[in-house]
Amino acid sequence: MTNQQNDFTEWYIDTIQKADLMDYTPVRGCIAFKPDGYEIWEHIQDEMNRRFKETGHRNAYFPMLIPESFFQKEKDHIEGFSPELPWVTEVAGEKLEERLALRPTSETMIGHLYADWINSYRDLPVLINQWANVFRWEKKTLPFIRTSEFLWQEGHTAHVDEDEARAETMQMLTIYKEVVEELLAIPVYDGQKTPSERFAGAVDTFSIEAMMKDGKAVQAGTSHYLGTKFAEAFDIKYLTKENKHQFVHTTSWGTSTRLIGSVIMVHGDEQGLVLPPRVAPTQVVLIPVGPWKKNPAIMENLDKLFAELKAKGIRVRLDDSDRSPGYKFNEWEQKGVPVRVELGPRDLENSQALIKARDWDEKVAVDLPSSVDTIVDELQTMQTRLLEKARIFRDKHSHTHVDSLEQLTQHIATSTENGDIPGWILAGWCGDDACEEHVKEVTKFTTRNIPFNPPTTKSTCINCGKESKHTVWFARAY
């Protein structure tokens, strides 16, 4: 394993390969999700679907190919996405009359259809989500975090007015925050994106931002209020109760398989992957130790424990392969399995088992007859503990003492000298794009979001020193 502190990217790649989460393919930037990687995504999907449906949304599916003319209808949208679009230009040797893009997102196709589906106020709201793959051809890729094809969900809703659409935008951002914190044990800052970081075609973009262990930020989810921009571009009108034609107000919101990369980068340690129990494909692994083959009572007890855990809905594996216990410990540790249980002849004599949580240094002896409850409890405790650990780490590296570009440069230099990471800084911003751009040029720190609940507020712009309009998180980002 590469040392996490020395080369975080190499550590990350080692970690996902040792954990067998993905594989590279001959298509640059496109990865294969192996079962353990894909199952993390399935647990995210299950929880998201539960919350989406609870709030009245339903899933649907739209085509992957989008006619070029659709993109021309919303100017900001085509400008934002055109550099990353792959095109289908011919079929069976014959050139197509109109090029088709592999979707980077589905606002245009859905806008086209909603124009047909929505006629009266009785048809509203439309609350639809799609689980799909999308394409954004990337020059620099990193598995799960930035790939040319990725999996995501995109919600697309249409409403009678701005108030309702804005309430939807915030509702979905809150759902994202709760899922990422509660399921993935990743604390996030929620807030509004600055205009330069807005989604192409949105009126307002909101995001949740997470800090990785190298101090860089990942935008973990976004929710957009699109106003009537797409409704005007695609002529999505409805008849009001007063018999007037009006444009609908739309929203869109998305999270992607980047979340898998974030889990790895937030919780992983020098031994590799650490998974929060709620998303771990295997939550508990049972391993017989010592001369267990000569002692049938060991496997009998492990089989019983296996059945009891399974009955409680725990995702449990029993590793009775002929490899050495040391090999197995290492392998399951690298797979990030939250809890390991060992049982050998001496343990059995003492009516105990040894358990080790993935993030503990030592194993502890637990009473064998009540071990099922102890294990179930520990899975819950570990879930909470990982969130708390991540929160402590994030808070420690969220700095509020930087008020000028000079101080930021100094802060970065001092952190590097001390072998520490610069983390994030909370600073004032006057609202001028040029100030934002200059900070980025000099330090590679970009605006993450304008947090709803900043730990403190700042009165002057970090770049020009004039009065600030906003207090903003700045960080280097993936």
Residues that bind Zn ion (CB under 5 A): 430, 432, 435, 461, 463-464
To Zn ion, the closest distance from the beta carbon of 439 in angstroms equals: 9
CA distance 30 to 143: 8
Q: Which is nearer to Zn ion, 211 or 472 (CB)?
A: 472
| Amino acid at the residue 153 | Q
Q: What share of the chain is helix, strand, coil (3-state, %, to 5)?
A: 40, 30, 35
Helical spans, DSSP H, in 290-353: 296-311, 325-334, 345-349
CB nearer to Zn ion: pick between 12 and 474: 474
Do residues 363 and 332 lie in contact, with contact meaning Cβ atoms separated by under 8 Å?
no
Which residues neighbour 153 within 8 Å (Cβ) at sequence distance 6 or greater? 45, 48, 129, 130, 131, 132, 254, 255, 256
CB of residue 431 vs Zn ion: minimum separation in angstroms? Answer: 7
Alpha carbon distance 86, 89 (integer Å): 10
**Exposure string (b/e) for 41-52, b if CB count within 10 Å is 16 or more?**
bebbeebbeebb
Minimum Å gap between C-beta 465 and Zn ion is: 7
The smaller minimum CB distance to Zn ion, of residues 178 and 432, is found at: 432
| Closest to Zn ion by CB, 373 or 433 | 433
**DSSP conformation class of 277:** G
CB closer to Zn ion, 364 vs 434: 434
CA–CA dist 471, 400 (Å, integer): 10
Cβ nearer to Zn ion, comparing 285 with 435:
435
Minimum separation from the CB atom of position 432 to Zn ion (A): 5
Q: What whole-number distance in Å separates Cα of residue 414 and Cα of residue 435? A: 23
Which among 223, 218, 91 is positioned nearest to 156, based on CA atoms? 223
Q: How far is the CB of 206 from Zn ion (least distance, A)?
A: 23
Distance CA 136, CA 138 (A): 6
Q: How far is the CB of 402 from Zn ion (least distance, A)?
A: 14
Cα dihedral sign, 393-377-319-347: positive
Peptide bond into 125 cis (omega under 30): yes
The terminus-to-terminus CA distance of the chain in angstroms comes to 22
Closer CB to Zn ion, 14 or 436, in the complex: 436
CA distance 464 to 429: 9
Question: Going along 137-203, which residue ranges are E strands?
Answer: 149-159, 189-192
What is the β-pairing status of strands 249-256 and 316-318? unpaired
Nearer to Zn ion, 229 or 458 (CB): 458
Q: Which is nearer to Zn ion, 299 or 464 (CB)?
A: 464
Q: Which is nearer to Zn ion, 382 or 430 (CB)?
A: 430
